[in-house]
Every structure is written in structure tokens, then in C-alpha cells.
Structure 1
């Protein structure tokens, strides 16, 4: 039995060994985080377990087609007066990505950490970390098999959503033969791929269009045109009526410009905090940059939050990218 299989079996035993769980994903959850958290819920239900599924903040409404979405508890608006001895964290690149939920952990908490980010620091009591996996949902598929649960449309929909979103619609280089095998298997349970793709990848709000129009006016090229960046200021949110969710994905417009190696978005959704998202092609590992700045992610997709002004955040990232690319930002 190989070590990876041992880890999967240990994760399944963790779910079987406890009766009541706190299930959580990372702050500002994406499709893999949300699909994986709700996928864990589907597994726990079949095992006859109790659970509370939470996030520090809002979960994007575009994922409200997923089963048990209405049970996702936003702790910033609906605090929880309970502590848990068994916790399952999914898709959290490091401990800080769990957000302010650790106050819910009991004194002797046992924590199952399931993730695929190379920046994960193994913060769990039990760690199932596979950096070769395209998505946490891919790992959960193996856990579900090991736990002996019955696959159905609800579980399949959660896991398929995670696979679809973290592979960019099966377009990114992390799309492996195994990913496609799992996706094909999940479709057998009634998942409609066109509908999931429409909700997760295609459909946008009008507020997104309005904030995109403002953000594109800030588009800059630097570092010998190897870096493209875009900025969203607080006043842009006010003018457009958009929220932080509407500003998601803007970094891809930078990354997709021909010749650009790194795309960066700077989003100032509140005073004194700038959300930095980075997307890379081949020359730069942006997960290493993000980790240096207190964040995490993948080699080609990563992010962090920098405390300070927009100008300070831009200067910090500019200098780090100079070092990574070996090119002055003024060239």
C-alpha cells in the first residue's frame, strides 16, 4: 500500500471516528473550496454524522446551485456559540487561510487538513496533502471511495464543480488524465456539465461589467511588458455598485495579454487592505511570491492580502517581481 493511499484511508477513518464535525474552507472561497466543503458534508451525511459547515465571510452566490449551500454559515454575520473537537478543513493553503474560526476549536481539537496547495504547512492533526492533485475535490473523490459511501448526483455535483473551477474548465496544465477520468465518472450520476460551466465560468453580473470597465482604465504594463496589472479602488466599488465578488477574475484579463508572464490585480475593497491576485505563465512561481507576502496558492495562481495603502502594496509587489523576473520594472 503506497503512502498516498495510506493518507486517504487515514482521512476516511477520521470521518468515521468522530460524531460531530466543524467543516470549513478558506476565506473568500472559490468553486473548489465550496464544492469540497459541501462534498465533505455529503460524505458525512452518508456516514450518519452531525456537522456545522462555516466560512469566515460570504460564499459567492453563484455557487447556490450546490446542495446544502443554504447551510453554509457566514460567521461574520451569524456567530456560532459552540466549540468542536473534530474539524475538517478543505482547500486551505495554510493555517491562516482558515480565517477567524479557530475560536471554535476545542482545547483538544483533532483537525483533518485536506488540501492540494504546495504552500500548505501541514497544520492538521491528520494531513492529506497531495500537491499533484488539480483540486481538493480530486482528493475528496478518493476519500469518498475509501469511506465506502455511495456516489449520487449531489456528491457528484459538488466534486465536479471543484474539478471544473480549479482546472479553468479543464483548460489549465493541471488537467491530468486522472482528472478527466473522475469527471467522466461523476457525469454518470446526472451532473449536467453545460449548466455547471454556465454558472461557474460563463455567467457574470452587470456590476462585474461596470467595475471591469473602470478597472481596465488602470491597466499598466511593466518589467519589459512581462507584467500587466490592474487596480480597483474603493471609489470604483462605490461608482459601479459592485462588491468584492463582482471584482473576481479581473486578474485574468492581465494574464491573457500576449507576451505577459505575470498578471496582477490590486483590489482595495476596504481601507488599509489590498487583495493581490497573481496569475503566471511559465517563468515565475507566484505561489512563492505570495507566500513571502503572507499568502499562498499555486505556481501559476496565487494571492495574498497586503496591509497598507494601494501605493505601498504596488511597490512591494513591484520589487518582488523585479527579483523574480530579473528585470527592472522601469524597463
Structure 2
């Protein structure tokens, strides 16, 4: 495991250099993204795989759920490297997990980490459990794609337009179109623009393009939103529920867009969206504006994430029980 001593920047630089060495010497490789992937985990995973492919290293990229690639990500370069979870090799020389705070977030592919000569974790979640043999975890980074850009520099590899497309996809989505980020994100974006990518088109495809049926879903879901003014020591909680029937005919990734609307409620510091995956099975997204650490709430309920963006899953439970648990943890 990577050191957790008093000099995290030095520790992380050492981890980055070790990762570069391991990737350079890899004979076979697997890159794992988290379940129900977003643009940051997929863009980061594909960017790592592109470097390995350049060197002639056999590489697979995969995620545990869902079984197919969400259509919104179809334009990511080199998506042909993605394989279904049942096609992922049981063992590989090097396995890299990207943007996944714990092995549990890898779903049915979590066991591939133990089937590697070297297991690598690259992530920016503060709640990361350091479950690799080498861990490069920097919670100050605005996205995991930012860390992959650093890895490319450490490797001395060129960030061309294909890699830039993948990295920009992660960067623009994880920063909310640069609404919550530091200067490094803007500097990286400028660098990626320089490769000739069509950044506005990438942004439109990922954030501003939705099927017509989404409007009916939003009408049903947002119409059922509830405000709990006394939650979070009086700062307020707003929440809603996306049930299986609400998603009829829609791609699964449309569930993930609801929280960005709910979080704009002025009367609530915290927003929660309960997403029903199947009867009794839930994925919960938590967001806060500036004063509540929702990562603590998520961790208490079996998940993790960032201070302003976190989540957890619940099995064999009801929406009412989950909301009560969130309110209890918020105080």
C-alpha cells in the first residue's frame, strides 16, 4: 500500500512514478471503471488504456453494471476497448481501478484486483480505502481525469486529441461545467483545447442532450420532491425518488441527471435523490452547497465520496427508511 505519512504530495509523486514503471512493464492489463459509470471513470479508464494500446500491451476496459455502454458515452474515443464484465480476464499482469473509492464500487469485477501481479488505484475521492498495492489518491484534484493527465506527463506520453477528448469528458462533467473547481482544472482544459478537440460539442453530448421521454420522467419525479426544512440543523434537505417505472423506455444514465436539478433548491443546503434499481435496491446521490459534508453521511450509510458530492447503495430497504436514515445522519 502507498504510504499515508506526513508528506502526501511526496507520497503521491512516488506512487505516480511507481505506477508509470508498472504500466511500462505490463504484459497484459485490465482497466476497471466503477459501476454505473460516469464520464470521469470512463474517460480516465479509456485514456489509461490508450497509452497501453500504443505500446502494444493487450488491454481490456470494463465496468460491472450495467451490461451495455450508456449511449451518452458512445462517442468516447477507443470505446472498442470496452468489454462486457463476463469477458474480462480472471487474471492480468496489471489491473488499474480508476475513479473508484472502494473495491465494492467495482461490483462483480472487484475480484479482478486480487488476480493481478500489481493492482493500481487512481482516484480523487477522499473516502478512498486504498485497496490497491499502489494507490495514487489525491482528494484535492477536481477529477480523476486530472490525475490521468499527470500520469501521461510522468510517462512522457503525448496527450493527443483522442486522449484529450476522454480527459475533457471527465473534467467538464465532474466540475459541473467548471462551476466547482480550482485553477488547475481551467489550465488543463486550456491544454486539452490546444489538441483541437471540439469542447462545446463534447459538452453538449454529455450534458445538454437528452431523449424526449426524459421530460415526462422529470415531471413525475420532480413533482414528488419533498422539502425537510429542519434537517441538517435547520439548513434543509430536499429529496425525491426515481422509481423503476419512472424510467420506462429511458437509458439508465438519465437517472443521474436528476440530482443536478434538485440541488438547485434555494431552501435546502442538502439534496438527495433515491434511485430505485430494482425492488428494494437503491442507489442514492447526495449533494450539498457549501457547509455540509455529505461524504460523512454517505460513509455512515455504507458509501463515500466528496464533501459536496457523495453517494451510497441500500439493499432490501424502502425509500422511507432511507430518507429517515439520511435525516438522522444529517442531524
What does residue 98 of structure 1 align with? 106
The reply on whether 1:252 has 2:260 as its aligned counterpart is yes
Contact 1:83 1:103 in 2 (8 A): no
The reply on whether 1:208 has 2:214 as its aligned counterpart is yes
Distance 2:319 2:289 in 1: 25
Q: 5+ unaligned residues in a row in structure 1: which ranges? A: 324-331
Deviations 1:161-191 (A, max 9, x none): 111111011111xx22111111111111111
Deviations 1:177-217 (A, max 9, x none): 11111111111111111101101111112222221111012
1:154 to 157, 162, 177: 162
The reply on whether 1:230 has 2:240 as its aligned counterpart is yes
**Helix, strand or coil for the counterpart of 2:256?**
coil
What does residue 176 of structure 1 align with? 182
**CA 1:80–1:122: 2 relative to 1, 3 Å:** closer
Distance 1:123 1:273 in 2: 25
> What is the CA distance between 1:157 and its match in structure 2?
0.9
Contact 2:300 2:329 in 1 (8 A): no
**Helix, strand or coil for the counterpart of 1:246?**
helix
**Helix, strand or coil for the counterpart of 2:311?**
strand
Deviations 1:198-248 (A, max 9, x none): 01111112222221111012111003371111112233234xx33432222
The reply on whether 1:319 has 2:328 as its aligned counterpart is yes
**Helix, strand or coil for the counterpart of 2:254?**
coil
**CA 1:138–1:101: 2 relative to 1, 3 Å:** same
> What is the CA distance between 1:105 and its match in structure 2?
4.6
**Helix, strand or coil for the counterpart of 1:62?**
helix
Deviations 1:79-116 (A, max 9, x none): 44542231000000112111111344565531010000
Distance 1:282 1:107 in 2: 41
The reply on whether 1:63 has 2:69 as its aligned counterpart is no
What does residue 35 of structure 2 align with? 27
Distance 2:144 2:89 in 1: 29
1:110 to 110, 118, 124: 118
Distance 1:266 1:105 in 2: 29
The reply on whether 1:52 has 2:60 as its aligned counterpart is yes
Contact 1:275 1:304 in 2 (8 A): yes
**Helix, strand or coil for the counterpart of 2:257?**
coil
> What is the CA distance between 1:252 and its match in structure 2?
1.8
Contact 1:84 1:109 in 2 (8 A): yes
Q: 5+ unaligned residues in a row in structure 2: which ranges? A: 1-8
> What is the CA distance between 1:300 and its match in structure 2?
0.5
Distance 1:38 1:107 in 2: 21
| TM-score normalised to structure 2 length | 0.90
> What is the CA distance between 1:66 and its match in structure 2?
0.9
Contact 1:244 1:269 in 2 (8 A): no
Distance 2:247 2:208 in 1: 22
Contact 1:46 1:149 in 2 (8 A): no
Contact 1:234 1:269 in 2 (8 A): yes
User: Quick check: 80-89 or 302-311, which moved more?
Assistant: 80-89
What does residue 20 of structure 2 align with? 12
**Helix, strand or coil for the counterpart of 1:245?**
helix
Contact 2:211 2:250 in 1 (8 A): no
1:282 to 281, 290, 305: 290
Distance 1:74 1:208 in 2: 27
Q: CA RMSD in A?
A: 1.7
**CA 1:167–1:271: 2 relative to 1, 3 Å:** same
Contact 1:274 1:313 in 2 (8 A): no
